[in-house]
Chains A and B, each alone.
Chain A
Amino acid sequence: MARSSGYVRMLGLAVAGMLAVMACGQQGTGQNQSLASDQTLKFPIGDDFATLDPAQVNAETDSEVAQNMFNGLVKFDNDLNVVPDIASAMPTISSDQLTYTFKLRPDVTFSNGDKVTSKDVVYSWNRAAATQGPYSTNLSAIAGFSNLSSKPPAPAQLEQLLAKNDPSVMLSGLSAPDPQTVVVKLAQPAGWFLSAVALESTTGMIVDQKVVSTDPQNWWTKPATAIGTGSYKMSARTPGQSIDFEAVSNWWGSPKPTVTKVHLDIIKDAGARETSYEQGKYDLNGYGGYSNLQVDDILRIQQSSSLSKELKLQPKVRTTWASFNLTCDAARAAKGPFCDQSGSGAKDLRMAFALAVDKDKMVDVVCHKVVCIPATGGLISKGLKGYLGDNADPLAKFDATKAKSLLKSADPDGSKTKGMTYVYDPENPINATTAQFLQDQWQTNLGVHVDVQPESHSQFIRDRLAGKFVISRDGWQADYDHPQDWFDNLFAKTAGCPDTNCTTGYANPQFDAMATQANSKPVSDAIPTYKQMSQMLIDEVAYIPLYYSVGAFMTKPYVKGAGTNNFFDYYWNQYQILQHS
């Protein structure tokens, strides 16, 4: 029966057609999305590099880029656990906690093909330690570090000394018994050692002696000599304008990179970066260390149904607070009413100023409830070891009545708090708004007029560390999840307190003793001691806690694998670009 079979055939075709259409429709939503043919990742950064040399790296952008160019023996994974990288496994640690033995993978190579052996590790760490850069203290636990000169030789001379194995530039505790083994002897037990050498892009990273020695100062500036073990290498560079990277073929690590090219444009204006991103020119924004999208843009994005899906707000382990000058001695230019030498009421005065600031209102007015949260758990940011717990810090409370009565008793005629200036660096816009807010709070809630003075960043940092400010903006961004990073750099004698390199001049022998003791233990045992130290700072009213920062990141929906944790952006070899229009 021709006609009915014809109908059946048509019906069958129709059903098949419908199924096909449904299957095609599913393609856009399901998991079998295919990769784009052009695997080029593009995003903007705010400034050109200061340096990518692991021995000198400091700035956040430089770090986020360099982490894709270099590897260390161990690294942090996306969840911030320390895992092996160039090492084949976690090191064996001797029972006295003094000796770490690392075994290296045999297949690690530099992007120029040179094989990596233990000699490279010894060279790189000696070089990093002897250079005395900003993060050389990451290696300070190793025996022999204290013998290194604090006045490092010039880069060319350093290379010559390293080539000759000159003991003046070598860590005595570092040795390479065979090409796949590195033995590290510490001067004393240090629970923070592995975290420090895992820190991406800095002094724990391995560099190629053959290449570095050809241009000791500027080897990292051009593609031909910017050699590392990372999954990406620099392929082109136009200073001040753009940098290009390409994936290293047959890279030894995993996951193997999918994105073949990474293109960075240098755009100074935050608004321009976001506008370009929204126009479709870039795949990401906020990555590469500049997680500061303009607050106004974030608020607008949150109100847009399409853009808000691309926005991610991630707490960054950065705390901002206001510091007092706590020590009035001959070496410190700032005097002021807050130092204990000024009289018994100094601590009450500090408490008055701390309690007069409404931190919740600050988060509303200054951060618009988006780019920060109130710092209620101590100086160490939320999410880090050593965090005291939500609302555990009494200095974070707001109590205008108590503040006024403390002021009245400590400074009845107002003479002590006359003519004070709060100094800040305006390069980050939020510092200026914070300053104006603080000024208003002290005026309204305390009746004290405090001038606010912007001072350009480089000058500000230097003056602050030299103890020139009565009260000033202060802050710290954690490098790794260990309280030692905070105390040793801010308050303890190791930082230089009371006189050099110390904002507050806080000097307390008991505090220092506790720091030394806690640093030597494994971190889980040391936490109670660190918390006690935090409590000491609170009892002393050593600071006014303000807020913990939150970073903002935009990611196009076709970029998979991109992301960020509290510390760093995920490595580029994890990203994939899916097909998109």
Chain B
Amino acid sequence: MATSPAVAPGAVPAEPLVRAQVGLWSDAWRRLRRNRLALVAAIYLTCLVGVGLVSIFWTPYSISHTGVGPTYQGPTSAHPLGLDNLGRDILSRLMVGVQISLIVGVGTQIVVLAVGVPLGLAAGYFRGWVDTVVSFVINVFYGIPDLLVALILITVISLGKPSLDKIIIAIAATRWMDMARLTRGQTLSLREREFIEASRSSGARPLKILFGHLFPNALGPIIVQATFGIPQAILFEAFLSFLGLGVPPPTPSWGAMAADGVHSLRIAPHIVLAPSLALIFTLMAFNFVGDGLRDALDPRQRR
């Protein structure tokens, strides 16, 4: 739940990109391909998305079918990951859990991008009172622990009836500040660059400058930040599920499955191990891809 190391408030902001756009991306791509860890992680994530897509249409058993076998049963040939406390097939639930986790992770970041990037761009480019207001709001949100924000939001907007989209909004509300501050920092540095001067003096409209020039050049760190934000969001949802505020049952989010499974750790460890391992591998994969992207896009690190 902390900021990515790429953001260091108060210290020197990350160096803006000095190369032309085309060169950077192909150069970054080359470097990313050489990063074995990130490559393996990316392949894993692709397979995961595949599993998620498959699960939309088919799972070995229905995820809400209770009592297909004895409750708490361990892995067998019919049920490779065993059965949970209600006798449901864990493998099937794990597969559908891919959907939920990815939706939560990516959905949260989409909202964060949609809110944080424009605000950061505006604050960094126009400065003045726009910057003051945006920075003030950012600081207020930073001043309140993220759990409080999420909790208040969830309870208030769901009015006691939780659902997936409300959870996404609540989690996004705790994370958008990092994105906004990052974008603002990038914008502040970039706006002094010659190519921005050039387009400004050639009469380009602010919107075009913001989204046509500044944004693409700030894209690198933004992508990295978003990639790191996905595992944070998925973990946060697990945390909310443990508190009873996550996706309502019987939706099988990995976090909810782990939260339920923790109670039976001593008699049926497979119930908590399956979703926990899924979480570990997937979150590690996102982290490695994020690391790889950051290294690939960082012009200072030459390999």
Contact = CB atoms under 8 A, between A and B. Distances in A.
B206 interface: no
A546 interface: no
Nearest to A429: B263
Interface centre among B66, B85, B262, B267 (most CB of A within 10 A): B66
A440 interface: yes
A388 to B, nearest CB: 28
B86 A366 contact: yes
Contact of B67 (A299, A364, A439): A364
A432 B249 contact: yes
Nearest to A459: B160
Interface string B243-286: 01000111000000000001110111000000000000000000
B160 A456 contact: yes
Contacts of A529: none
A453 interface: yes
A433 B250 CA distance: 9
A436 interface: yes
A164 interface: no
B263 A271 contact: yes
Interface residues of A, number: 29
Given A296-B268, A299-B267, A365-B71, A454 B66 contact: no
Nearest to B64: A440
Contacts of B85: 295-296, 368, 433
Interface centre among B162, B262, B267 (most CB of A within 10 A): B267
Interface in A293-318: 294-297, 299-300, 303
B30 interface: no
B160 A433 contact: no
Contacts of B244: 426
Contacts of B160: 455-456, 459
B171 to A, nearest CB: 19
A455 B67 CA distance: 25
B266 A300 contact: yes
B159 to A, nearest CB: 8
Nearest to A453: B161
Contact of A455 (B66, B71, B86, B161): B161
A456 B162 CA distance: 10
Contact of A433 (B86, B266, B268): B86
A92 B23 CA distance: 102
Contacts of B193: none
Interface in A323-353: none
B161 to A, nearest CB: 6
Given A364-B71, A365-B87, A444 B65 contact: yes
B64 A361 contact: no
Interface string A345-382: 00000000000000001001110100000000000000
B288 interface: no
Contacts of A266: none
B61 to A, nearest CB: 11
A405 interface: no
Interface in B130-163: 160-162
A368 B267 contact: no
Interface string A265-309: 000000100000000000000000000001111011001000000
Nearest to A423: B161
A271 to B, nearest CB: 6
A435 interface: yes
Contacts of A300: 266-267
Contacts of A436: 64, 66, 86, 249-250
A365 B86 contact: yes
Contacts of B262: 271
B245 to A, nearest CB: 10
A364 B72 CA distance: 12
B66 A437 contact: yes
A161 interface: no
A443 interface: yes
A368 B83 CA distance: 14
Contacts of B87: 365
A296 B266 contact: yes
A452 interface: yes
A440 B65 contact: yes
Given A437-B66, A440-B65, A443-B64, A454 B86 contact: no
A175 to B, nearest CB: 48
Interface in B21-73: 64-67, 71-72
Nearest to B266: A300
Interface in A390-428: 426
Contacts of B266: 296-297, 300
A433 B72 CA distance: 14
Contacts of B268: 296
A435 B86 contact: no
A439 B64 contact: yes
B104 to A, nearest CB: 18
A152 B244 CA distance: 37
Given A436-B66, A440-B65, A454 B249 contact: yes
A459 B67 CA distance: 31
Contacts of A366: 86
Contacts of B249: 432, 435-436, 452, 454
A55 to B, nearest CB: 30
Contact of B71 (A368, A426, A444, A459): A368
A299 B72 contact: yes
B248 A454 contact: yes
A440 B66 contact: yes
A247 to B, nearest CB: 37
Nearest to B244: A426
Contacts of A426: 244
Interface string B86-129: 11000000000000000000000000000000000000000000
A57 B160 CA distance: 27
B67 A361 contact: yes
Interface in A169-190: none
Contacts of A299: 72, 267
Given A365-B71, A433-B85, A439 B250 contact: yes
A444 B88 CA distance: 14
A73 to B, nearest CB: 43
A106 B160 CA distance: 54
A297 B267 CA distance: 8
A365 B84 CA distance: 10
Interface string A436-466: 1101100110000000111110010000000
Given A364-B67, A365-B71, A436-B64, 8 more contacts: A297-B266, A300-B266, A303-B267, A365-B87, A366-B86, A436-B86, A454-B162, A459-B160
15 contacts: A296-B72, A296-B268, A299-B267, A303-B267, A364-B67, A436-B86, A437-B66, A437-B67, A439-B64, A440-B64, A452-B248, A453-B161, A453-B248, A454-B249, A456-B160
Query: Which are the 6 A-B pairs with shortest beta-carbon distances?
Result: A296-B264, A365-B67, A440-B66, A300-B267, A456-B160, A436-B250
